[in-house]
Amino acid sequence: MVNTIACGVRTLDLSRPRIMGILNVTPDSFSDGGHLYRDGRVDTDALLARAEQMVAEGADILDVGGESTRPGAAPVSETEELDRVATAVEALAQHCDTIISVDTSTPKVMSESARCGAGLLNDVRGFKRPRALQVAAETGLALCVMHMQGEPDTMQTAPAYTDVMHDVSEFLSQRLADVSAVGIDLGRVIIDPGFGFGKTAEQNFELLARLRELCNQGQPVLVGLSRKSMISSVLDRPPEQRLVASVALALMAVERGARIVRVHDVAATFDALSMWQTIRHTLSQSQQP
């Protein structure tokens, strides 16, 4: 298993679980759209204040997204996404001493983000757009390759699998082969099963229940479960009232081997993971001869 990943000029230590804080510079993301993007532009003051708060609360990575990928989301033009993301990454790189991730599928956004100071490229489409893999290779940055069935505007229209864990694993294995074929060292690649992306609630819960199968395959696993609609299939809660359930799911994922959790609520997740790590340390100490 990879224990450290070079993310641009910084190194991500995965000897313990890490927290990725979500910074959506969009007007329409499902939970926090419009918080950091107002009046047709990125609110850099609000962005930096939120980023500083997340780092203080325990975020190890800040993940910037300029295109909503919620179910049914409309596509964003390359120009608009580039303007949103480049503005945000440049501001963050100048003010925050932490790894900056960019949530994008657009090759031009990838290359410009690398120039502005990003350290990780996080693609919900698994780098399947034309030239995405080649451009990602040219940046030299770390990658997160995610599984999604379909596209955001159609992905929740009757998603179907023969065996959801097998099918997701097969997709990711093929993408890792494709990544390796363009010369990218798998030692800088993270994988993500894509909770909520072309999957029913039942399929999401099965993926989580069986997550160790994916975590045992050699690549670090990132999960994004925060405030997802799978929670509402069990609890009738709007996104802003899914904190406790989100933290519980993050803990379940870490218990099953996930190394990175992508979250909206950094402080609560940090506290929960700190308790988990303390118990792990206590147990390991008690088992020493």
> Minimal CA–CA distance to 123: which of 162, 152, 93?
152
Q: Which helix (H) or strand (E) holds 268?
A: helix 266-286
Q: pLDDT tens across 60-86, in order? A: 999 999 998 776 667 789 999 999 999
- pLDDT score for 31: 61
For the chain, how are helix, strand and coil distributed in percent, rounded to 5?
Answer: 45, 15, 40
The CATH number given to 4-286 is: 3.20.20.20
Name the pLDDT band for 222 (thresholds 50, 70, 90).
very high
* Per-residue pLDDT tens digits for 161-183: 999 999 999 999 999 999 999 99
Q: Which of 228, 242, 256, 259 is catalytic?
A: 228
Residue 150 has what pLDDT? 73
User: How would DSSP label each residue in 69-123?
Assistant: -STTPPP--HHHHHHHHHHHHHHHHHH--SEEEEE---HHHHHHHHHHT--EEEE
Lowest mean pLDDT among 189-193, 210-214, 238-242, 253-257: 238-242
108 flagged as catalytic: no
- Give tens-digit pLDDT for 112-137: 999 999 999 999 999 999 999 999 99
For a pLDDT cut of 90, what percent of the chain falls above it? 82
The whole-number average pLDDT for the span 94-105 is 96
256 is catalytic: no
